[in-house]
Amino acid sequence: MISARLRPLAEETSELGTLFADADRRLYLVGGAVRDVVLNRLESTTDLDFTTDASPDEIEKITGRWADSLWLQGKRFGTIGLLKADRLIEITTHRGEAYNPDSRNPEVVFSKDIETDLSRRDFTINAMALRLPDMTLFDPFDGTGDLAAFRLRTPASPEASFNDDPVRMLRAARFIAGFGLSPSQELVDAVKRLHGRLEIVSAERIRDELDKLMVVEAPGTGLWFLVNTGLAHEFLPELPALALEQDPIHHHKDVLAHTIAVIEKTSQDRILRLAALFHDVGKPRTRSIGPAGVSFHHHDVVGARMTRDRMRALKYSTDDLNLVSKLVELHLRFHTYSMGWTDSAIRRYVRDAGEVLDRLNELTRCDCTTRNRTKAEQLSRSMDDLERKILLLREREQLDSIRPDLDGDAVMAHLNIPPGREVGQALAHLLQVRLDEGPLDNGDAYKRLDEWWARRSNDSV
């Protein structure tokens, strides 16, 4: 009898399972969906992955009329993709696949039994299968036991698993953090020996795994795993570099521990988490020791440049790169207004932050990891005060789209000058007036323009 927990999934998959049973072929649900069913956390949006003893040609024949659409790009690797009622489904012939040591492309070998297929999976918690349509659980490597014990192991030896697909070493970090698992010592030792294998993995796959790790609720243990096993050195050397040597005289925070603490304080926003990851990467290059102790002057500017370089190497989009590096460059801006927030300072802060303003404010709050309660409370009150003043100023003027009170056409017509550098200089002056004083009416704007033009003309004499 199918349990209540499995009934919704059984109802959704029974028709497909029956199709394969009628064709004298076996079909199994595998992967994350099975793990999540065991954990009672399967979401309705989860894509479904299946494996079968049917050949790719047989899969295509069995599902061709049933599916709303098919795509066959992965057929040579044994995978047929299909869409049914807005549900994305992939069905793959049982296989064992191994990476050529010098290649990024898998060498696919098909298999006829489910246990062999499961033995090639990444971790035991993902090496479980539900046979359809009767929903019988196959768990030859005790994935349920590992989930119960909060343990991360591989079905085969870790060496075999990571040589099959080196990106699994990165995926281990995500499962450690996302499910609160402890890796077996055998797994840890294998990663320490094999992390150099990441060189055959594309930057895009590495980037995607990093992104998935960064948005789990508490990625800290996964990030420590990357550092302590040497994995981070392969694709993100700036992270372990934050473990600056401490000395007994010139004290400063453990920058690596601080960075991971900041990440875990932020909300699960991918861009914000990446900014927290990179916000102090400029400190090792800017560290200096003087009479006042350790300082990291301009680490925000240096860090922004390093962020762009690393994100470019990891093939991040231009939009992602610009947003994250902007947050890194501005993450100290709040502290430059220690004397108070005038309307002019607020206008400049909001204009410079632009679309990352809310993220910048959150990053600034989270960047405070001091144990000094008084200092932390003072920063929190200051941020509250800033955000309150931003709201008040927004009510009086268009704070989020600050521009000169006159446009280029008005400037050229009023001064009777053609397009050129002078127009840009006039607009830059009017923008500074707008930032300092707020919006002007047309009469005052033209007056300020005339005053600037007169000074400029006198200076050129």
The SS3 call for residue 402 is: coil
- Give yes or no for residue 101 having a pLDDT over 60: no
Q: Per-residue confidence at 220, pLDDT binned at 50, 70, 90? A: very high
Measure the CA–CA gap between 454 and 426, rounded to whole angstroms. 12
CA distance 79 to 439: 61
* Contact yes or no for 304/298 (Cβ under 8 A): no
Report which DSSP code applies to 419. S
Token pair 């040591």: residue: 101
- Please give the pLDDT value at position 46: 64
Question: Among 373, 400, 427, which residue terminates a domain?
Answer: 400
Using the predicted structure, report yes or no on whether residue 372 has a pLDDT greater than 90: no
At residue 97 the predicted structure's pLDDT band, cuts being 50, 70 and 90, is: low
Residue range(s) defining the domain that contains residue 409: 403-459
d(CA 23, CA 15): 13
Please check the confidence at residue 325 and state whether its pLDDT lies above 60. Answer: yes
Domain final residue pick, 101, 123, 144: 144
- pLDDT band for position 240 (cuts 50, 70, 90): very high
Are 133 and 13 in contact, with CB atoms under 8 Å apart? yes
β pairing state of 79-84 and 182-183: unpaired
Domains contained in the chain, number? 3
- The per-residue pLDDT for 227 is 97
What pLDDT, on the 0 to 100 scale, is given for residue 22? 96
Residues 195-203 have a mean pLDDT of 95
Q: Phi/psi class of residue 235: alpha, beta or left (left: φ > 0; alpha: ψ in -120 to 50)?
A: alpha
The per-residue pLDDT for 376 is 84
Domain boundary at 400, 416, 448, which?
400
Evaluate if residue 175 carries a pLDDT over 90.
yes
Q: Are 18 and 2 in contact (CB under 8 A)?
A: no
Q: Is the pLDDT of residue 277 over 60?
A: yes
Going from the C-alpha of 53 to that of each of 82, 272, 381, the distances in angstroms are 18, 44, 63
Residues of 63-76 as b/e, b for ≥16 C-beta within 10 angstroms? beeebeebeeeebe
Q: How confident is the model at residue 8 (pLDDT cuts 50, 70, 90)?
A: confident
For residues 428 and 235, what is the distance between their CA atoms, to the nearest angstrom? 42
pLDDT at site 44: 53
pLDDT confidence of residue 272: 98
Taking a C-beta distance cutoff of 8 angstroms, is the pair 222, 183 a contact? no
Q: What is the CATH number of the domain that holds 40?
A: 3.30.460.10
Q: Are residues 420 and 448 in the same domain?
A: yes
Give the percent of the chain with pLDDT over 70: 92
For residues 420 and 383, membership in a common domain is answered with: no
DSSP secondary structure letters along 105-121 = SEEEEE-S-HHHHHHTS
- Co-location of 262 and 322 in the same domain: yes
The pLDDT assigned to 100 comes to 58
What does the alpha-carbon distance between residue 105 and residue 244 come to, in Å, rounded to a whole number? 38
| Mean pLDDT calculated for residue range 75-101 | 84
- With residue 52 as reference, give the H or E element that holds it: strand 48-52
pLDDT at 136 over 80: yes
pLDDT number for residue 48: 86
Q: What's CA 32's distance to the chain center, in Å?
A: 20
One domain, residues 304 and 453: no
User: Is residue 228 one of the residues assigned to a domain?
Assistant: no
When pLDDT is averaged across residues 456-461 and rounded to a whole number, the result is: 66
pLDDT (0 to 100) of residue 433: 86
CA distance 96 to 271: 37
Q: Is residue 191 part of a domain?
A: no
Kindly report which listed range (46-50, 216-220, 405-409) carries the lowest average pLDDT score.
46-50
Q: From the CB of residue 3, how many other CB atoms can be counted at a distance below 10 Å?
A: 9
Q: DSSP assignment, residue 333? A: G
> Residue for token digits 């006198």?
458
N- to C-terminal Cα separation, the chain: 97
How many Å apart are CA 172 and CA 158, to the nearest integer? 11
Q: What is the pTM of this model?
A: 0.86
Do 251 and 396 reside in the same domain of the chain?
Answer: yes
Measured in whole angstroms, the distance separating CA 259 from the mean position of its chain's CA atoms is 15
Distances (CA, A) of 149 to 23, 160, 175, 182, 313: 39, 23, 14, 9, 38
Residue 283, class by beta-carbon neighbours within 10 Å (0-12 exposed, 13-18 middle, 19+ buried)? Answer: buried
**pLDDT for the residue numbered 99:** 53
Task: Note whether 426 and 374 are same-domain residues.
Answer: no
* Torsion over CA: 444, 448, 454, 455 (sign): positive
Choose the weakest-confidence range: 87-96, 117-126, 208-217, 240-249.
Answer: 240-249
Instruction: Assign 401 a pLDDT band (cuts: 50, 70, 90).
Output: confident
Mean pLDDT confidence for 252-272: 91
What is residue 156's predicted lDDT score, i.e. its pLDDT? Answer: 92
Examine the pLDDT at 348 and tell me if it is beyond 60. Answer: yes
Question: Is residue 353 over pLDDT 70?
Answer: yes
Per-residue confidence (pLDDT) for residue 248, from 0 to 100: 43
- Same domain for 279 and 363? yes
User: What's the pLDDT band for 249 if we cut at 50, 70, 90?
Assistant: very low
368 and 382 part of one domain: yes
Total residues found in the chain within this entry: 461
Over range 431-459, report the average pLDDT: 85
Q: Distance between CA atoms of 261 and 319, rounded to whole angstroms?
A: 26
- DSSP state, residue 49: E
Residue 107 lies in a domain: yes
pLDDT at residue 260 greater than cutoff 70: yes
CATH of the domain at 327: 1.10.3210
Looking at the predicted structure, is the pLDDT value of residue 4 above 80?
no
Between 90-99, 114-123, 253-262, the lowest mean confidence (pLDDT) is in: 90-99
Task: Find the radius of gyration of the CA atoms of the chain.
Answer: 29
CB 293 within 8 A of CB 310: no
Q: In sequence order, which ranges of 230-356 are alpha helices (DSSP H)?
A: 231-235, 255-265, 270-278, 283-286, 299-313, 318-330, 343-353
Residues in contact with 277: Cβ distance below 8 Å, sequence separation at least 6, in sequence order: 214, 239, 259, 263
Residue 39 sits in the same domain as residue 140: yes
